[in-house]
Structure 1
């Protein structure tokens, strides 16, 4: 009996196109799945892991600062340097010891804010906001890598020191990297903001909030702060101001949210 030769399957142009399309779709599906996994891991890293790392680091730094202050001799400088000598106080006199008047007639330690400036990136104070349950280090500078990404509040270098005459201005992340200013929009007039240093404890009261302004609205950091973009938001006389800034809306850096406060009380540690 003669055996039949096996049939040879010959694909036409249409079948070949279908096979090529199927391979392309399969490859695209694999690439999309891989990309989705990678993006998911990036989101987890950005929104969870960086927060966990920064918060733990910030807590350790707050504890380390407080241990150093408790162990230090009275009168130790918060900036790690010696005092720079007499300096004009809020009434125009020299800070030479004792107390002076802050906003609203509050007694204020003389010599407050006169320490040599801390080194860039160095934590030297603690910011506490009871309404937000927040306690984070304050470091010199507003660089991302050296300060903000550690979960710290960053001190604008050309602004006043804690408790000093002028505007003590801070920046902080709203999302990721500890996001210390995540709920800054929850602050209301009268809420307290405390700044602890090696020398003194300063209590500010929130006065007003600028919900949204442009990143270029630099006058919010002026010694007597105001908004050049929103003229209705301004202070008009010298004082002891606090400014807190962060990005807004959440998960965006398009605008800036600004909270202003004034010094209400100060006491030596």
Structure 2
């Protein structure tokens, strides 16, 4: 009985340490690393920035996407000179995503792998979806729990909330206008160029445009389903 009690206590302590590691240490480590990466990106951009303040372009119209799939603009003849970067290297952080309502500010990296991106507290860009500000769907994923949990409270986003994506030469502002509280992990329609759920056909959009998709796991501390938040590009500030 004495030996059994010691084993039970040891197992209990190990489990407690595992919980502390997952819920506290991974968050602290990932958040610190992500913030350092944000600062490094911003310092790099500022050191190479040209003089003068940003210029703001009006929100793009859907018909502009039909005529020019590469550059959003309200006036097709006077498009803002937003950056057109080469495809980012795998796992490379190349943008900063901010959600003012939630106080979130995290790096965006190419790919959605856990070890190289998500577990570092980054937001991961789905390969083969649009890049920031481009026609189509800029789709990203982030942890809801542990490892920095940048999307912990995305369920609190409401219509009109802003999501900003800053790259080296421009800041793209998307405005939230739709949400999908729960869908299957296999529902690839939510990150299509015209995002529309294949599981819940009434959720999503019907026409081409400039979209943002945020995805994360739900319910909390589970990966059984996916939570989706959508928005549309409403302004571009070119540096």
Calculate the TM-score normalised by the size of structure 2: 0.89
Count the aligned residue pairs.
226
What's 1:100 paired with?
A: 73
Is 1:168 aligned with 2:141? no
Secondary structure of 2:36's aligned partner: helix
- Greater gyration radius: 1
Q: Residues 26-175 of structure 1: matches in 2 within 5 Å?
A: 26-74=2-50, 90-93=65-68, 100-101=73-74, 109-112=80-83, 114-175=84-145
Structure 2 residues without counterparts, runs of 5 or longer: 51-63
What's 1:204 paired with?
A: 174
Give, in whole Å, the separation in 2 of the partners of 1:223 and 1:95.
13
- Which of 251, 254, 257 does residue 221 from structure 2 map onto? 251
Whether the 8 Å contact between 1:242 and 1:263 is mirrored in structure 2 is: yes
Q: Residues 200-239 of structure 1: matches in 2 within 5 Å?
A: 200-239=170-209
Give, in whole Å, the separation in 1 of the partners of 2:123 and 2:66.
29
Give, in whole Å, the separation in 1 of the partners of 2:142 and 2:121.
8
Whether the 8 Å contact between 1:160 and 1:167 is mirrored in structure 2 is: yes
Q: CA deviation at 1:214?
A: 0.5
Give, in whole Å, the separation in 2 of the partners of 1:72 and 1:123.
17
Give, in whole Å, the separation in 2 of the partners of 1:95 and 1:193.
21
Q: CA deviation at 1:110?
A: 4.2
Give the number of the structure with larger relative contact order, counting CA–CA contacts within 8 Å between residues 6 or more apart.
2
Q: CA deviation at 1:92?
A: 1.3
In structure 2, relative to structure 1, the CA distance for the partners of 1:41 and 1:31 (3 Å cut) is same
Whether the 8 Å contact between 2:216 and 2:227 is mirrored in structure 1 is: yes
Cα deviations by residue, 1:140-174 (Å, 9 ceiling, x for unpaired)? 00000000001000000110000000000000000
Give, in whole Å, the separation in 2 of the partners of 1:264 and 1:118.
24
Give, in whole Å, the separation in 2 of the partners of 1:256 and 1:108.
36
Whether the 8 Å contact between 2:82 and 2:238 is mirrored in structure 1 is: no
Give, in whole Å, the separation in 1 of the partners of 2:34 and 2:22.
17
Structure 1 residues without counterparts, runs of 5 or longer: 1-24, 75-88
Whether the 8 Å contact between 2:104 and 2:150 is mirrored in structure 1 is: yes
Give RMSD over aligned pairs: 2.0
Whether the 8 Å contact between 2:216 and 2:226 is mirrored in structure 1 is: yes
What's 1:182 paired with?
A: 152
In structure 2, relative to structure 1, the CA distance for the partners of 1:33 and 1:111 (3 Å cut) is same
Whether the 8 Å contact between 2:125 and 2:140 is mirrored in structure 1 is: yes
What's 2:60 paired with?
A: none
Whether the 8 Å contact between 1:167 and 1:242 is mirrored in structure 2 is: yes
Secondary structure of 1:160's aligned partner: coil
Whether the 8 Å contact between 1:152 and 1:172 is mirrored in structure 2 is: yes
- Report runs of 4+ in structure 1 exceeding 3 Å deviation: 93-96
Calculate the TM-score normalised by the size of structure 1: 0.80
Cα deviations by residue, 1:49-76 (Å, 9 ceiling, x for unpaired)? 11001000111110110000011154xx
